[in-house]
Structure 1
Amino acid sequence: MEKSQKINPFISHILQEVDEEVKKGLEEGITLNKNTTLKYLRMTGNKIENKGGMFFAAMLQINSSLQKLDLGDCDLGMQSVIAFATVLTQNQAIKGINLNRPILYGEQEESTVHLGHMLKENHCLVELHVCKHGIKNCGLQRLCNALYLNTSLRYLDVSCNKITRDGIEYLADVLKSNTTLEVIDLSFNRIENAGANYLSETLTSHNRSLK
């Protein structure tokens, strides 16, 4: 990445609170920017935190060959999750991304606002893992609103969140029209019998794509 090339303005805005070392690193780029052979990078469990996440988000603006990135259990922060969502509105190479178990604070489920927007704009992502994001019914509704428009996502992992039967009702409604999704991981949520019934009725009468 040439130094004259600027990072995405949305990420620049997100990085207002991040230290100068990260900003410099983003402007100069990292090794993976120019790598054209690596297809799958697994960093699971490495505590790269928010700072490391920002480097990877910046890399995805330049690298057009990486297809799958696993950053599960890396202690990513809200800023880096938002940065990934922002970058993936334009990156057309990534097919799968794992953002499981970030360190998120607050009750507003801000990450789902940006992830929902990304799903509306991205038509290449096939697999999305957002386990342990603290997603509640409102957050799932945002994702569901995006799934009405998304025609590429096949695997959605929202396990280990705080989704109840009310959230499942939103999802069941989406599945009446979305025929792309093949796998949805809802394990370790709180859907109860009522939530299971919503899904059962939809799968019986409307959806034939889930496996």
Structure 2
Amino acid sequence: MTVRVLVVDDHPLYREGLVTAISTMAGKEVVGEAADGAEAVRLAAELVPDVVVMDLHMPVLNGVDATGQVTTQHPSIAVLVLTMLENDESVFAAVRAGARGYLLKGADRAEIGRALDGVSHGEVVFSAAIASRVLSYFAAGRGGPELAPFPELTDREREILDLVARGLTNAAIARQLVVSDKTVRNHVSNVFAKLHVAGRAEAVARARDAGLGQ
């Protein structure tokens, strides 16, 4: 069976190279390519590939949110993350969003080919360095900041989003964090922009779904 692949990356040269590499692999067919997360969601619905190879740091819609939309709308589609981001919160955010695999961009053609086969058959695939860290975290029963949601947010933005989700006003957040109202307003605006939400209510809903504001 041929594995049909959608390639998503905002860097044209890397994307072209990846498309070429996958196209030469036995039993693989690249059916489309996208330059941002929103385009990835649209093409996934249109093409219904077996696997979406997804970068994380992209414009318009980041790879974590795009992964969540693709896997929610099309559970049969496997998402294989291929990124330069190897921090723990990016890994866990992608897995929570539904990614079945996580490789770093240093992966060679053979590793990418094996991962495409694996995730298309329902397996979960991590690059060696990522896998050892994932296993160690679960073995130690760890949670905490490594599992922090919304990797696109800074620590301060995530802290403010948590307080927003608890129902605090901007003024109350400013008092609690001992910063100016203007600083809080700026952070809140940045959070809304990064999460692509229309307002406070939608941000609160997203935050509580991710476990914040408890």
**TM-score of the aligned structures, taking structure 1 as reference length:** 0.31
The structure with more strand, counted as a fraction of residues: 2
The structure with more helix, counted as a fraction of residues: 2
Larger Rg: 2
**TM-score of the aligned structures, taking structure 2 as reference length:** 0.31
